Amino acid sequence: MSQLVQHDLRRGSRARHLIASVTALALLALLMTVQPPAASAYPPGLPSKAVAQSELDALTVRAESASAPYDRDLFPHWVTVNGCTTRETVLKRDGDGVVVGSDCYPTSGSWYSEYDGVTRTAPADISIDHVVALAEAWYSGASTWTTARRQDFANDLTGPQLIAVTAEVNSSKSDKDPAEWVPPLASKRCAYSKMWIHTKSRWGLSVDAAEKAALQPLLDSCSY
One domain, residues 115 and 161:
yes
Dihedrals φ, ψ of 146, to 5°?
-80, 160
> Does 27 share its domain with 52?
no
90 and 196 part of one domain: yes
Q: What is the CA radius of gyration of the chain?
A: 26
Residue 14 confidence class, pLDDT cut points 50, 70, 90: very low
**Residue 40 confidence class, pLDDT cut points 50, 70, 90:** low
The reply to whether 174 and 210 lie within a common domain is yes
The average pLDDT across 200-210 equals 99
User: CB-based contacts of 97: which residues, under 8 Å, 6+ apart?
Assistant: 108, 109, 110
CA distance 176 to 104: 31
Look at residue 41 in the predicted model and tell me its pLDDT. Answer: 60
State the Cα–Cα distance between residues 52 and 60, nearest whole angstrom. Answer: 14
- The reply to whether 147 and 112 lie within a common domain is yes
Are 91 and 180 part of one and the same domain?
yes
Which helix (H) or strand (E) covers residue 63, if one does?
none
Which one has a higher pLDDT value, 23 or 162? 162
Average pLDDT (199-223) is 99
Mean pLDDT value across residues 122-148: 98
- How many domains does the structure of the chain reveal? 2
Average pLDDT over residues 54-71: 98
Strands 106-113 and 118-120: antiparallel
pLDDT at 42: 77
Question: What is the distance between the terminal CA atoms of the chain, rounded to a whole angstrom?
Answer: 69
Q: Is the pLDDT of residue 21 over 50?
A: no
For residues 17 and 106, state if they share a domain: no
Quote the domain boundaries for residue 167.
40-220
Confidence band of 97 (pLDDT split at 50, 70, 90): very high
Same domain, 147 and 182: yes
pLDDT at residue 177 tops 50? yes
The average confidence (pLDDT) of the chain is 88
What is the spatial distance between Cα 108 and Cα 119, in angstroms, rounded to a whole number?
13
pLDDT at 26 over 80: no
Write down the pLDDT at residue 113.
Answer: 98
* Residues 203 and 133 both lie in one domain: yes
Q: If you average pLDDT over residues 202-222, what whole number do you get?
A: 99
Question: Is this structure's pTM higher than 0.95?
Answer: no
pLDDT at 38: 42
Same domain, 81 and 19: no
Residue-wise pLDDT tens digits, 105-124: 999 999 999 999 999 999 99
Assess whether pLDDT exceeds 70 at residue 203: yes
Domain check: are 3 and 81 in the same one?
A: no
Q: How confident is the model at residue 146 (pLDDT cuts 50, 70, 90)?
A: very high
